[in-house]
Structure 1
Amino acid sequence: MVETAMAMAPRKRQVLGQILVERGLISLQDLEAALAEQKRTEEFLGKILSRMGLVSEDVLVPILADQLGIPHVRLRETVVESQALAKVPAKFANHYTLLPIRVINNTLEVAIADPFDVQTIDELRLLLDCDVRPVLAGPQEIREAIQRHYGLGASAVQQLLDAGSRAGEPTAPVTEDLSALVDEASIVSFVNQLILQAVKDRATDIHIEPYERFMRIRQRIDGVLHEVPIPQDLVKLHQAVISRVKVMAK
């Protein structure tokens, strides 16, 4: 199905533009400007229209899915199975902007942002040794869902734990040499993401609360503490996270 869509991409792109004009979602001048940009960048027309602010992702994705004959999913309203999440590493999901949703028999349903990226679907099939059924969702919606289900900074945490495992280093909560982790790119990345998310959410303060078997991070918004979704394995790195915050505070 995806292969067919890819083969017919040029015709579908033109139809997409015509439909948007016919529905009054963009003007003919908007379409001409987007097509000129497409000729320059060779990007997918829908991506250009979204980047130019002419059509929102929520409006564009269902129309595109209908044109290509690919099922559309709204991730904010979809139950995502933990079994599906466990099959795909967070760094893979982040890198390719996709989200595993559910497993049916030996088929993994995956939300993708690029309906023409057949190579990524093939790589996923080889990685998991199972069939993959792609469904379409907007890239921003997928990124938000990745953070919601894998946890903030999941890729950075996984990268650091993987590196420690390859080097034979302990990843237990108590780390003897914290100075070796404080300036690690992955720890820096995680703390930066945490602060940027707090700024985006207009939080006034961040609470980092490590416990013996788990870790909790909360941010205060309008006087109310809200829990931030984080990877479960972050508890193994809590001392490095706290030490990084202390270094930044100096």
Structure 2
Amino acid sequence: MTDLLQLMVESRQLSASDAEWLAKQHGDGAEGSFDSEPEILRWLAQEYAVSYSDLEQVEVEKEVLSLFPARLLLKEELLPLQRSNGSVDIATSRLFATQGLDTLKSLTGLKLNPVLAPSEAIQREIKKRLGVGADTIDTLKDDASFQVVHDELSVDTDLENAAEDASIIRFVNQVLSDAIDLRATDIHLEPFENELQIRYRIDGVLQDVPVPSEIKRFQP
């Protein structure tokens, strides 16, 4: 069994029996060597009669995306796409890891249709649609102890307390980690009246970074 097949079994993208069959096909030199994740996912989609998408042309409906908690989508690598015949199509690369889908079903009461897609494409689109630090903002949104500061006289004290809050620190760490991954040399934070704009300088050019729209709820 190839390293790729073994990795996909461990991440529950493939069943052991499917991996063994694919390994045999690969070893026999059969047409279609299944050397990449997209090739294997396309085969799985045909084998189990589910849809496949490379997510290059797919439309993601914002209204549908807002129905699901960001932290769960990030954790389980699930991307809601659009409504279809009373249900919601959700991109996943892990057909056999059903816990995430089951949790979303329980939370929303919606019928969910898995659409197989490459994991890298799902991660890219989730980040693009939700923005950096989306899971932390989602947690803060539900945190009753977090209050927005309106009293100017207490700003300094309250900011010191907020800096100690693990959620705030985590959000900043996510911004820093994201900038390092993208090899950014500068991070520009620009607070406006109704939004926070984050930009990274990459290869000498400032580039906008998606920011969760909910972050404006925590501005004074």
Q: Give the TM-score normalised by the residue count of structure 1.
A: 0.71
2:18 match: 12
CA RMSD of aligned residues (A): 2.6
- Please say if residues 188 and 200 of structure 2, whose CA atoms lie closer than 8 Å, have aligned partners that are also in contact: yes
Report deviation, 1:136: 0.8
Identity %: 31
Ranges of 4+ aligned residues in structure 1 off by more than 6 Å: 172-175
Equivalent pairs counted in the alignment come to 202
Q: 1:99-137: CA deviations, max 9, x gaps?
A: 100012420110112111233323222211121111112
2:48 to 62, 68, 89: 68
1:78 match: 58
- Residues 236 and 119 (structure 1 numbering): CA distance in 2 closer, same or farther, change over 3 Å? closer
- Please say if residues 147 and 218 of structure 2, whose CA atoms lie closer than 8 Å, have aligned partners that are also in contact: no
Separation (CA, whole Å) in 1 of partners of 2:99 and 2:140: 27
SS of corresponding position for 1:206:
strand
1:186 match: 167
2:6 match: none
SS of corresponding position for 1:69:
coil
1:170 aligns with 2:151: no
2:121 match: 141
Separation (CA, whole Å) in 2 of partners of 1:110 and 1:183: 37
Q: Give the TM-score normalised by the residue count of structure 2.
A: 0.80
SS of corresponding position for 1:103:
strand
SS of corresponding position for 2:96:
coil
- Please say if residues 107 and 131 of structure 1, whose CA atoms lie closer than 8 Å, have aligned partners that are also in contact: yes
Report deviation, 1:10: 4.3
After the TM superposition, which residues 106-117 of structure 1 pair with which residues of structure 2 at under 5 Å, given as runs? 106-117=86-97
Report deviation, 1:98: 0.5
Which residue identity does 1:104 align to in structure 2? S
Q: 1:23-68: CA deviations, max 9, x gaps?
A: 4747xxxxxxxxxxxxxxxxxxxxxxxxxxxx44333322332333
Separation (CA, whole Å) in 2 of partners of 1:135 and 1:76: 14
- Residues 192 and 76 (structure 1 numbering): CA distance in 2 closer, same or farther, change over 3 Å? farther
- Please say if residues 101 and 108 of structure 1, whose CA atoms lie closer than 8 Å, have aligned partners that are also in contact: yes
- Residues 122 and 196 (structure 1 numbering): CA distance in 2 closer, same or farther, change over 3 Å? closer
- Residues 188 and 59 (structure 1 numbering): CA distance in 2 closer, same or farther, change over 3 Å? farther
Bigger shift: 129-138 or 119-128?
119-128
Higher helix share: 1
Bigger shift: 206-215 or 191-200?
191-200
After the TM superposition, which residues 26-175 of structure 1 pair with which residues of structure 2 at under 5 Å, given as runs? 55-163=35-143, 166-167=144-145, 169-171=146-148
Separation (CA, whole Å) in 2 of partners of 1:57 and 1:185: 36
- Please say if residues 198 and 219 of structure 1, whose CA atoms lie closer than 8 Å, have aligned partners that are also in contact: yes
